A and B are shown apart, each in its own frame.
Chain A
């Protein structure tokens, strides 16, 4: 008996029911989360599930079925159900379904993990959150929150083309935030970001964050924000810290270069993209400083894996080179429709969800400047960091983002703290205005990227550095 027997039975069930292609993933997931507030544990959840998801192609129609039953008989029936669903798809048929060729791969991959976060004593993890939130509460927070999340995923993939792949991915992260209640408004400061920093690493990632060293500071800054001047409404120069830049990349580049959006497959929900495939290789997305890579091979980054969820080995490619759009996030089927020769970015949120085009690690290559140089070179501007709100249109063009904190920049020096900083723009205009880019890149992790129907949550990575943009509209208020 091998772990591949069950997905193989599912694939065979689908083929025997008329599928021309089928693949199946068995997954076993363990998830743990803990939240603390004001020095007390608010919630501890431990979840474990196992199941199989089968994808079948009948004619030009796809079908998918999933169950939490790993007997060979149940897996075979699941394959048959997937094929029956695929047959129903053929009643509203599309063009012939093709896939870019992919050699059958047998492989195994595991993320590096020095300290297994699920083996750490619960009491030790709980004591850390209690200590952190107590410290923030004592330092002036009205509501001090801390949390960590752990995901431990094992999966076995089999396809009718001969793939046999197993992976073990461990992800975790943590963060703290302090909220203060003022007259008619709230202010919040977080470290290292609101929901925390995440990666495909073990507890060593959380230890390296040194959350305790920042607890009092964030509480104090949140209180200070209540009396800080409001961010002015004007056009100005903006410097964004690297955490906000990760959000900027995620929303206005990462989603825009998803090939399923470009092809209209997400038109009714997540939306489409302002990008037109006819301009791939020639469209100026941003300034010459803008170099964005799709790279699921970055050790420890949250969007890393050995193989995507249709068996394509992880490989890096360019999305934007010297400001010109040159690449997309794709799967085997969407790439074939677009006439491209690469997939590699298909992922699913668990065994019960259909694999679809998702971000892996999408991030900036470093620039030549330091943050100090950017500030020194700015006569009049605002430095903003740590995302607080984010909204962007369904073509990934028109955005308005808010940050937790801002600082005035006057004559090359940081000045007063500013509250409620927001900025707004149109994607390509914004990126074309980037005239300085930091050299210090952090691979930020986003653990809550939503997409798909039924909804799927993805975990993505975004290497990012501070950057400067000119002529930006700031301070939009209601």
Chain B
């Protein structure tokens, strides 16, 4: 029984229970496996195989959503998701009955935007079977490679694989299914109190090279020993891709969020040149190295969309509800249970200046690769930042963010790394850091960044050289 069979069956059950009701169903199944290590040994090693069904019903002007786990998934010795051979029709019936009952009792929903009309979806890149069916030994082997490559330094992190199948059907005739898979490694090496990090996420597990990542993390850690304390203030910075990813996440949640734009909570103005003209940002679920589904939870087909073109915002993310209020179609960015928080772009890619692999050669020292080194060499005096941590928004409209540096900061003088620096706290309006004239350089290639495990974001970013970053504290306070 396919997931699309399950979704279609639920639509039939709704039609029988409440003729005329509008209904949409999302059936999802997947296996998430994550091998976690600390103190250089595997201490947590987990996997779950789940199938769930989400139903949203609109009837008599009222809306309710219900969801449930579904029994019967693959629980045998095979690895990776396999749809259930059969599904308990009574369980689907109970979901339908309680969701329809809830819709009858819910207050009226005058903003209901209607269902997605039937439309074709573009296929996402085919799934790599080695990724989708990776076994515990495949993950443990990469962990072992990372640990060994760190050359005796203490290590910690994870290697994960995810296979995800999704099917959608609604009572307006839209139906589609999509399959994707992702492998990721995100880990540190530790030299005394100094940490170095290396990360990668890819649709192909063969791109996850534990030995290369371990060596990179160890090189960073060794270069970060005995950091000096510098005074807070404004510094020119080179942000490595993992730090740039934080900018993209906050821009997506608070800036390019169509609902926030509708409500005046976002700084973004469509059509305005709010960013440096060197910046272009696209949302691309079809990236062959990324992790994308062909449609969103409302069944809207995904498309490659440009959000920022040469510094000018030309689109924001909408679901059907925020799109209707803005007078534009959904952009295919609806998320489950996110009516309050709004639509979020899931596959942002800040465009690099070179080709796919331009400048990804290893270099000595703490710099991530040759692409970042090229930016460092242009800095007269500034800081190289590996990572941001615990960033929080003080005000969503100005997008003033406070957070800390993590996993390595270095002083750059006359184009050379001269010393490690202790971590800073910063308080920085993100739009200001990317404003016209503020971006001094963009890395030649971008890196797929592992999701933080809380969401389905799959972003790619190059390094950035920025004219100014506002550091407001150091370890002394």
Contacts and interface: CB of A to CB of B under 8 A. Distances in A.
A41 B109 contact: yes
B397 A89 contact: no
Given A44-B64, A92-B140, A186-B395, A67 B73 contact: yes
Given A51-B50, A67-B75, A389-B402, A453 B158 contact: yes
B107 A40 contact: yes
Nearest to A74: B75
Q: How large is the interface on A (under 10, 10 to 19, 20 to 34, 35 or more residues)?
A: 35 or more
Contacts of B427: 400, 476-478
Contacts of B108: 40-41
A206 interface: no
Interface residues of B, number: 102
B210 to A, nearest CB: 10
Interface string A107-146: 0000000000000011100110010000000000011010
Interface in A419-458: 420, 422, 424-426, 429, 450, 452-455
Nearest to B406: A394
Contacts of A389: 392-394, 402
Chief secondary structure at chain B's binding surface: strand
Interface stretch (A177-185, A291-299, A378-386): A177-185
Interface string B410-441: 00000000000001010111001000000000
A87 B454 CA distance: 28
Interface in B312-358: 337, 339-340
B68 interface: yes
Nearest to A53: B48
A185 B398 CA distance: 6
Contact of B394 (A68, A95, A420, A425): A420
B265 to A, nearest CB: 6
B36 interface: yes
A347 interface: no
Contact of A43 (B37, B39, B144, B339): B339
B43 A268 contact: no
Contact of B190 (A48, A267, A402): A267
B455 to A, nearest CB: 9
Contacts of B52: 49, 68
Interface string A130-168: 100000000000110101000000000000000000000
A81 interface: yes
Contacts of B109: 40-41
Interface in B390-411: 390-398, 400-404, 406
B406 A268 contact: no
B272 interface: no
Contact of A69 (B71, B190, B389): B71
Interface in B123-160: 135-137, 139-141, 143-144, 147, 154, 156-158, 160
A375 to B, nearest CB: 26
Contact of B75 (A77, A424, A452): A77
Interface string B20-44: 0000000000001111111111111
A66 B425 contact: no
A43 B68 contact: no
Interface stretch (A56-64, A216-224, A318-326): A56-64
B397 A186 contact: yes
Interface string B434-470: 0000000000000000001110000000000000001
Contacts of A47: 66-68
A244 interface: no
Interface string B178-190: 0000000011101
B77 A64 contact: no
A449 to B, nearest CB: 12
Contact of B472 (A67, A80, A476): A476
Nearest to B71: A69
Nearest to B76: A77
Contacts of B454: 450, 455
Contacts of A80: 77
B264 interface: yes
B69 A453 contact: no
Contacts of B197: 268
A143 B292 CA distance: 33
A60 B49 CA distance: 24
Contact of A400 (B195, B340, B425, B452): B425
Contacts of A87: 136
A51 B69 contact: yes
A454 to B, nearest CB: 5
* Residue of A36, A88, A390 ringed by the most chain B CB atoms within 10 A: A88
A288 interface: no
B398 A123 contact: no
B38 A265 contact: yes
A65 interface: yes
Interface in A85-106: 85-89, 91-95
Nearest to A55: B46
Interface string B62-87: 01111111111101110000000000
B65 A267 contact: no
Contact of A66 (B48, B147, B157): B48
B84 to A, nearest CB: 9
B66 A46 contact: yes
B47 A42 contact: no
B32 A454 contact: yes
A398 B76 CA distance: 47
Contacts of A70: 71
A197 B34 CA distance: 33
A393 B390 contact: yes
Interface stretch (B98-106, B201-209, B280-288): B98-106
A392 interface: yes
Contacts of B32: 454
A63 B110 CA distance: 49
Nearest to A456: B453
Given A41-B107, A123-B107, A478-B400, A400 B473 contact: yes
A217 B89 CA distance: 50
Contact of A94 (B39, B136, B157, B423): B39
14 contacts: A41-B107, A42-B111, A46-B65, A61-B42, A67-B75, A87-B136, A91-B140, A92-B37, A126-B106, A264-B39, A267-B156, A268-B38, A394-B406, A398-B475
Given A43-B337, A44-B63, A47-B66, 18 more contacts: A41-B107, A46-B66, A49-B68, A66-B50, A67-B75, A70-B71, A77-B75, A77-B76, A85-B45, A85-B47, A130-B107, A264-B154, A264-B156, A354-B46, A393-B423, A398-B423, A424-B473, A455-B453
The 3 closest A-B pairs by CB, nearest first: A94-B41, A88-B136, A49-B69
